[in-house]
Amino acid sequence: MQKELDLLDLQGNIVRAYGRYNFPYARYVFLNIRDGKRGRDFVAAVTREVTTAAKWGDGPDDLKKPLSTVNIALNYPGLKELELPRASLIGFPMEFVMGMKKRKDILGDDGRSAPAHWDPIWRDSRETDRYKDVHIWISINGQAMENVQQRYEWLQQLVTQSAGGVAILSGHRGDDGADQLPFQDVHAVFENGQPTSKEHFGYTDGIGDPVFAGLPGKAERVIGRGKLLKNGRWEPLETGEFILGHRDEANEYPVAPMPQLLSRNGTFMVYRKLHENVGSFNAFLEKEGQKYPGGKELLAAKFVGRWRDNGAPLVSAPDAPSKAAWDQKFSAADPAQRDRMLAEFTFENDMDGAKCPFSAHLRRINPRAALQFQANAFETPTALANRRRVMRRGLPYGEVKDASRDDGNHGIVIMMLNASISRQFEFVQQQWINYGNDFKAGNDKEIILGNHSETLPSRAVLAVAADSDQAPYFLSNIPRMVETRGGDYFFIPSMTALRMIAKGLVDPT
């Protein structure tokens, strides 16, 4: 039976990456709760405008697509300040209770990614001054910047009406490094006036977002995004990998707080501001690209597993001639075929990593069937990846004004949604991004996101086929290309849960 989700109960950011629905601008606002009762009234007022996952349409009974969207999430101290009963609070997973800062050793947030270097809002949150603690995350996505601004002004009014119940926190760095902005603005990277899905290194983001049972969208999108079965067919992942209160890949309900109405149709979100060291990236690519036999663009593709210009997977287009053929087919294809060309692949014909390196971004964050080093080792070829999938949301921030420098205001705000932060996001970050043993790559880190260190320089191997006459290529002294600038772990409640929290009616008994 086709799984049907209660879309009016789910917040819209869970099922939609807004950037892909013509909302290229967004603003993230963080608030501190100063009074429980007035804080709950504020949440109630926001909830009335929260965008759900319901389908948009132009029919008489349809919900119209809005000019801007609103979503809300709470971290653990926020839920406490809203006076959730203790019996519900103790049901939240430990990593969520601890928050992102205290998980820095697991996440590899060291060196220049250490909390001491985070934006002031994150550096000061959950430290000594409770008036600086982040409690609430509110996101506004807009079709145009003015739509975002209008929603923001509405939000400011609600804050004023709360009469000191909540306050907007400042402390986001902006174009001037010392800025204390009261919000984090993000927007798509524009090319020729058109929004793109690219980030500041020039890669296309978010192609391989997971597909799970009940997720609205075309059925064929499951190919390359769901789970691969032994018979070669793709099926959606179980809903409970991404949304609480539903069966997961282990046929269990995810760990979640009581009562069920509080957790069902909610999920956990990792908010992470990542600065991109554009200067280091370009210099490294330029330097190695001059030596690498395949040239600079193939090398850039090797970092990630996709070509920068159109996202062609390296597994399907491993060199210049095959890329030219792929491009030709791609330009003649209709949108559905194009999507399939981008998403449909495994690493079955690349078990030695000769096409897509073991340390490339997409092989690390979603290994598909690549961890099945022997045929038929597992019940399904993707068994080791199915419980480590993460939905990725978010947009780039800032602009690259000088591509030779690291210190501008440019990066990406990424939000990762999953049912278990520790099993999914944290595991991938610790074991697959900052360590390589599962990929038979020893200590090698993921090339782009790895927390490369200056004292113990990182390496990556760009392998060649076992019967090739060519030598493998070694990348050495990989610079840290991405740095953490802050973030925390949030809970995105369902609409039902938001209304219960706002009313102070959560009853775990």
Partner 1 sequence: MANVSGKAYALTCLCPIRKGQLDGIAYSDEVRYRLHNWGLLEQSPMAKVPQTYLCRYFVLNDVYYESLPGTEFGGTFFDFLSIFSDRFRRKALPKEDHLKSKYLVFSCNLHGDLDTYLRGMWQAISADIQTIWGFCYGFEKVNDADSFIAYIKKCQLNASLFFNGSNDDPLPEQLKALYVKQEFSRFAEQHQGMSAAQLQQAYQAFIQRIEPDNLARPSWQPGQTSLQLGG
**Cβ closest to partner 1, residue 162 vs residue 359:** 359
Choice between 86 and 291, CB closer to partner 1? 291
Residue of 248, 264, 7 lying closest to 256 (CA atoms): 264
Which residues, other chains included, contact 351 with Cβ-Cβ below 8 Å and sequence gap of 6+? 370, 373
Q: Cβ closer to partner 1: 43 or 460?
A: 460
Q: How far apart are CA 35 and CA 163, in angstroms?
A: 10
Rounded least distance, CB 460 to partner 1, Å: 10
Nearer to partner 1, 190 or 474 (CB): 474
- Outline where 116-182 has alpha helix (H): 120-124, 145-161
Phi-psi region of 477 (alpha: psi -120 to 50; beta: other; left: phi over 0): left
Min CB(209)–partner 1 separation in Å: 35
| In the complex, least distance from residue 474 CB atom to partner 1, rounded to whole angstroms | 4
How many angstroms separate the first and last alpha carbons of the chain? 33
Q: Using an 8 Å Cβ cutoff, are 134 and 75 in contact?
A: yes
Residue 257 and residue 263 in contact, taking contact as beta carbons nearer than 8 Å:
yes
List, in order, residues 6 or more apart from 197 with CB less than 8 Å away.
19, 20, 188, 204, 205, 206, 207
Report residue 176 as tokens.
Answer: 């001037």
Provide the minimum distance between the beta carbon of 477 and partner 1 in the complex, in angstroms, as a whole number: 9
Q: Which residues bind partner 1 (CB under 8 A)?
A: 291, 443, 455-456, 459, 471, 473-474, 476
Q: How far is the CB of 457 from partner 1 (least distance, A)?
A: 9
Q: How far apart are CA 316 and CA 342, in angstroms?
A: 9
123 or 296: CB nearest partner 1: 296
**Residue 443 CB, nearest approach to partner 1 (Å):** 6
CB of 293 to partner 1, least distance (A): 9
Q: In the complex, what is the shortest distance from the CB of residue 478 to partner 1, in angstroms, rounded to a whole number? A: 11
Closest to partner 1 by CB, 456 or 466: 456
Identity of the residue numbered 53: A
Nearer to partner 1, 278 or 462 (CB): 462
Nearer CB in complex with partner 1: 253/292:
292
Residue bearing tokens 């994150």: 122
Closer CB to partner 1, residue 56 or residue 474? 474
* Alpha helix stretches (DSSP H) within 136-277: 145-161, 260-263
Return the number of the residue (349 or 437) whose C-beta is nearest partner 1.
Answer: 437
Q: Cβ 466 to partner 1, closest distance in Å?
A: 16
Please report how many Cα atoms fall inside a 13 Å half-sphere around the Cα of residue 398, on the Cβ side: 27
Strand intervals (E) in 277-340: none
The residue among 22 and 437 lying less far from partner 1, judged by its C-beta, is 437
SS3 of 328-380: HHHHHCCHHHHHHHHHCCCCHHHCCCCCCCCCCHHHHHCCCCCCCCCCCCCCC
The answer to whether the CB of 507 falls within 8 A of the CB of 258 is no
Pairing mode, strands 68-74 and 136-142: antiparallel
Residue whose C-alpha is closest to residue 205's, from 362, 330, 331: 362
Dump strand ranges (E) for 404-481: 410-418, 458-462, 473-478
Amino acid at 409: N
Whole-number minimum distance, CB 395 to partner 1, in Å? 36
Is 285 or 462 the residue whose CB approaches partner 1 more closely? 462
Smallest distance, Å, CB 106 to partner 1? Answer: 17
* Residue 232: strand, helix, or coil: coil
CB of 100 to partner 1, least distance (A): 25
